[in-house]
Amino acid sequence: HELACFHWCLLNVRPELRTSHRYVRLATVCHKRAVGLVGMDAVLNRGSSSWGAHMQRYIKGVSIPTPAGEHTFVGATAIVAADTPAAAEMTGHKKAVGPTTKSCCRGCHCRQDGDPPPHRSPNSFLAGLPTWKRYCPGRNTNFTLRSSADLKAYLQKLQDVNAGRSTAKDLTMWKQLMGINDFLGSMWTWPCYPVFTGCPQDIMHVLFEGIARQLLGAAAYVMITHWDVNPEDLVLAIKRHATAQGISRAEYPYVNSSRLKRLGEGTKGSLPRGDCDFPGTAIQLAHMILDVEQIWSHLIPAQEKRSLTWQLLLYESKVANLMWRRHFDTDSLLALDKAIWIHDKLWLGNKFTSHLWKPKNHYLSHVPLDILRWGPPRSYWCTPFEHENQYTKRAVSHGNYSNVVMSAAEAKALSVALDVEGDGGCR
Alpha carbon distance 407, 421 (integer Å) = 21
Model confidence pLDDT, tens digit, residues 258-283: 999 999 999 999 999 999 999 999 99
Residue 391, number of CB atoms within 10 A of its CB: 15
- Give the count of alpha carbons within 13 A of 27, CB side only: 21
Give the per-residue pLDDT at 133.
95
Alpha carbon distance 289, 318 (integer Å) = 9
Model confidence pLDDT, tens digit, residues 214-251: 999 999 999 999 999 999 999 999 999 999 999 999 99
Alpha carbon distance 167, 307 (integer Å) = 54
Give the per-residue pLDDT at 250.
95
Alpha carbon distance 21, 44 (integer Å) = 21
Give residues with Cβ within 8 angstroms of 101, minimum separation 6: 94, 112, 179
Distances (CA, A) of 131 to 127, 135, 136, 145, 261: 9, 8, 10, 17, 51
Burial 216-245 (b: 16+ CB within 10 A, else e): bbbbbbbbbbebebebeebbebbeebbeee
pTM of the model: 0.89
Alpha carbon distance 99, 117 (integer Å) = 12
C-alpha closest to that of 180 among 165, 166, 196: 196
Give the per-residue pLDDT at 128.
95
C-alpha closest to that of 33 among 10, 3, 60, 13: 3
Which amino acid, residue 62?
A: V
Strands, E assignment, 124-178 = none
Give the per-residue pLDDT at 427.
42
Contact 124, 139 (CB under 8 A): yes
Mean pLDDT by groups of 10 residues along the chain of 427 residues: 58 66 63 81 84 87 81 88 88 81 90 87 96 95 94 95 94 91 88 92 95 97 96 96 96 94 94 95 96 97 96 98 96 98 98 95 97 94 83 82 80 76 53
- DSSP readout, 251-318? GS----HHHHHHHT-EETTTEE-TT----S-HHHHHHHHHTHHHHHGGGS-GGGTTSHHHHHHHHHHH
Give the per-residue pLDDT at 408.
80
